[in-house]
Structure formats: structure tokens, C-alpha cells
């Protein structure tokens, strides 16, 4: 196989982004897209010059499709992954892997038994700031992490979003639908999480059936500690963080360009300032699909595995449980 033929399931915002980026790869081709909404399916099919089906089962029945990119609402990821694995297709699944750990386990079993590749769309690993912070920590130049703090807060979904985003059982709530990225980033930098506690509640976004403010404390198996501020109840919002390590600190007050810098300082006084706008990296969605396609062609492990996807869902679920139990410490694993 010199090239991978892809089918895209779900032609909303993210499915369209995945399809358009996949079509730019030299060793991949989007042959079919699928959505229950015909206008969406037809529009995307025209853009990427593919055919379309309303029934994703018809896409899976095609022998020429090697792999699927799943970009449906999170509560559908399990049934679609199981069906795709059953049909012998490799699976790239958008984050969060699924809203429950049980669903993640069923998906893992399905792809393992079918012997197909599985990658989860924790795309932040391919973003400039996230990648640079991880690289700086992994270099060892700052020692080992003691504390990682990340905040990502916003003002809510507004009224234009589909209903599934307001339901914990369908979206996984803010901690999965948004902060799957930040939890993955913290785990990518600091390693596995040993235990979780959280406080929070619903203050502004009463349309949600999940908290709109969540403060999550993490203890990593390394002994490092972490703190995530998550929420949809901030008019100003913000996205940034820092990692303090045994020999120095890395401060990233923002994640995107706009003049922002990553600032580092070692205890010996050495400083570095890295302009985020100058970071050189491939379009992140294109890079993550490239990694998936390469894993298929080279028959290697995928870059971001089912175990990675499950770990994030486990942390988020533990945080929600901790809130219900008044901030109890929940041990994982």
C-alpha cells in the first residue's frame, strides 16, 4: 500500500477540517465522506472531490476504504469505532475518545481484536506552544517537573452549538469536550496521573447538565502535582500555564502568537524568551493525520493510542466524581 484511502464520518466543523487537511497529504486520499445531514455531506464531498453517503455503513462496506476519520459527537464514537473495526478499517477518532471509560474499554477491545490501527485526535501535541513546552521539559535542561498549571476558560458555547454539547452523556462535558486537550497536554509533559480531586459547580451556563467551573488537582505518578482551571463561565477567558521544574521554570502565558512569548528561567539565572509567533510547525490537524497515515503505511504503533485516549477520559470522569463527593481524592488505575 503506497497510499491510504480514507473515509470521513461526520462532516461538521471538525470532520471538514480533517478531510480538507487529509486531502493535502501526498500519501492519502479522501474517497468518501458521510453525514446524516445531506447538505453537509454534499458540501464537503464537493470540497474534497469525493463521493458521499448518508449511511456510514455504506462507507464501511467499501473495499477501497483502508481507514476512517471519525468526527461525530463523542457519544457516537464507540458504535462507529466498533463498526469500523468490524469492517477491518483502521480508525482515527476525534477526542474525547468517548464520554465513559467503559466505552473506551469497548473501543480498545474492538480495535485490538480486529488488529487495526487506532489513533485519538489529541491534536494539541502538534501545536507550536504545546510541542515546545514538552520539548523543553523533555530536554532535561530544567530538571524534572514539580508543578504544572494550565488554565483554559471561556464564555460558553453560545446558542449556535448542537444540543449534544450541553449534555454530559453525549459530549463528556467541558472537561472532555474542551479540556481533553489540556489534560492530554499535562499528561504528555508530566506523565501518568495517579489521583485526582476537584471542586466546581454550575454558575452561569444553566443550559449545561455539567459544571461550568471546574478546578482540578492532579497528582502524577512521578510525584509532580498539577492544577487545571476549566470553565465556560468567564467573560474574559484565557489560555495559558506554566511548568516549574527542579532546576528552572517554563512560563507560557498564552498559547497562540500575537506577540506572546514562552519565558524560561533556570535557578542559575539563565533565561530564554521564545516568541510563539516564530515557532515553526506543520498545520496541526495535517500533522496528526500524517502521523496516522504513516503508522498504517509503516505498520508501526500510532502516535496517540487508545490507552492515551482512555487515560484522559478516566481523569475527567474522576474529576466529575470528586465534585459530586465534595472534593474527594479519587485514585486511578
Ligand X SMILES: NC(=O)c1ccc[n+]([C@@H]2O[C@H](COP(=O)([O-])OP(=O)(O)OC[C@H]3O[C@@H](n4cnc5c(N)ncnc54)[C@H](O)[C@@H]3O)[C@@H](O)[C@H]2O)c1
Q: Which is nearer to ligand X, 33 or 276 (CB)?
A: 33
Residue 150 has phi, psi (to 5 degrees) of: -135, 135
State how far the alpha carbon of 290 is from the alpha carbons of 101, 124, 156, 309, in Å: 27, 15, 32, 18
The answer to whether residue 15 forms part of the interface with ligand X (CB under 6 A) is yes
Site string for ligand X, 97-126 (x = CB under 6 A): ------------------------x-x---
Cell of 251: 512560563
| Interacting span for ligand X (CB under 6 A) from 70-78, 82-90, 98-106, 241-249 | 70-78
For position 38 contacting ligand X by CB under 6 A, the verdict is: no
Backbone angles phi, psi at 145, to 5 degrees: -65, 140
The answer to whether 36 contacts ligand X (rule: CB under 6 A) is yes
Residue 170: C-alpha distances to residues 78, 103, 232, 260, 265 (Å): 11, 12, 17, 35, 43
The least distance separating ligand X from the CB of residue 66, rounded to whole angstroms, comes to 19
| Main-chain dihedrals φ then ψ at residue 68, nearest 5 degrees | -120, 150
> For residues 120-179, which are near ligand X according to CB under 6 A?
121, 123, 162, 177
Total binding residues for ligand X by CB under 6 A?
24
Query: What mask of x and - would describe binding to ligand X in positions 173 to 212, judged by CB under 6 A?
Result: ----x-----------------------------------
Least Cβ distance, residue 14 to ligand X (angstroms):
3
DSSP state of 148: E
By CB under 6 A, name the one of 76, 106, 204, 279 that touches ligand X.
76
List beta partners, residue 230: 152, 214
The secondary structure element, H or E, covering residue 292 is helix 284-298
319 exposure class (CB count in 10 Å sphere: 0-12, 13-18, 19+): buried
Q: In this chain, which stretch among 30-38, 106-114, 152-160, 303-311 interacts with ligand X, using CB under 6 A?
A: 30-38
User: Nearest residue to ligand X, using CB?
Assistant: 12
Stretch that binds ligand X, among 8-16, 208-216, 242-250, 314-322 (CB under 6 A): 8-16
291 binds ligand X (CB under 6 A): no
Q: What share of the chain is helix, strand, coil (3-state, %, to 5)?
A: 40, 25, 35
Q: Which one of residues 14, 110, 175, 228 is an interface residue with ligand X (CB under 6 A)?
A: 14
Rounded least distance, CB 245 to ligand X, Å: 28
Round to whole Å and give the CA distance between 180 and 73: 14
Instruction: Please give the residue ranges that form the binding site for ligand X (CB under 6 A).
Output: 9-15, 34-37, 40, 56, 71-74, 76, 94-95, 121, 123, 162, 177
Amino acid at each position: 500500500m503506497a497510499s491510504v484511502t480514507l473515509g470521513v464520518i461526520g462532516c461538521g466543523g471538525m470532520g471538514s477540517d480533517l478531510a480538507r487537511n487529509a486531502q493535502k497529504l501526498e500519501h492519502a486520499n479522501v474517497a468518501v465522506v458521510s453525514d446524516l445531514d445531506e447538505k453537509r455531506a454534499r458540501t464537503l464531498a464537493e470540497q474534497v472531490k469525493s463521493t458521499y453517503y448518508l449511511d456510514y455503513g455504506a462507507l464501511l462496506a467499501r473495499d477501497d476504504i483502508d481507514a476512517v476519520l471519525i468526527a461525530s459527537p463523542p457519544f457516537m464514537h464507540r458504535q462507529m469505532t466498533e463498526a469500523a473495526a468490524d469492517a477491518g478499517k483502521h480508525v482515527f477518532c476525534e477526542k474525547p475518545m468517548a464520554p465513559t471509560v467503559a466505552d473506551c474499554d469497548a473501543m480498545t477491545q474492538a480495535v485490538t481484536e480486529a488488529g487495526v490501527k487506532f489513533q485519538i485526535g489529541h491534536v494539541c501535541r502538534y501545536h507550536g506552544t504545546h510541542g515546545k513546552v514538552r520539548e523543553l521539559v523533555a530536554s532535561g535542561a530544567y530538571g524534572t517537573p514539580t508543578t504544572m498549571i494550565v488554565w483554559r476558560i471561556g464564555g460558553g458555547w453560545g446558542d449556535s452549538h448542537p444540543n449534544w454539547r450541553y449534555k454530559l452523556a453525549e459530549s463528556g462535558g467541558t472537561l472532555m469536550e474542551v479540556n481533553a486537550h489540556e489534560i492530554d497536554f499535562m499528561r504528555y509533559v508530566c506523565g501518568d496521573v495517579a489521583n485526582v480531586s476537584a471542586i466546581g459547580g454550575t454558575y452561569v451556563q444553566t443550559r449545561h447538565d455539567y459544571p461550568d467551573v471546574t478546578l482540578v488537582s492532579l497528582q502524577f505518578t512521578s510525584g509532580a502535582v498539577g492544577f487545571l482551571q476549566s470553565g465556560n463561565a468567564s467573560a474574559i477567558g484565557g489560555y495559558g500555564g506554566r511548568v516549574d521544574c527542579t532546576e528552572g521554570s517554563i512560563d507560557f502565558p498564552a498559547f497562540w502568537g500575537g506577540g506572546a512569548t514562552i519565558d524560561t528561567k533556570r535557578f542559575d539565572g539563565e533565561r530564554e524568551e521564545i516568541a510563539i509567533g516564530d515557532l515553526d510547525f506543520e498545520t496541526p490537524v495535517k500533522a496528526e493525520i500524517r502521523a496516522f497515515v504513516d503508522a498504517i503505511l509503516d505498520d508501526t504503533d500510532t502516535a496517540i493510542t487508545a490507552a492515551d485516549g482512555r487515560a484522559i477520559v478516566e481523569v475527567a470522569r474522576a474529576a466529575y466524581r470528586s465534585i459530586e463527593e465534595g472534593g474527594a481524592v479519587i485514585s486511578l488505575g
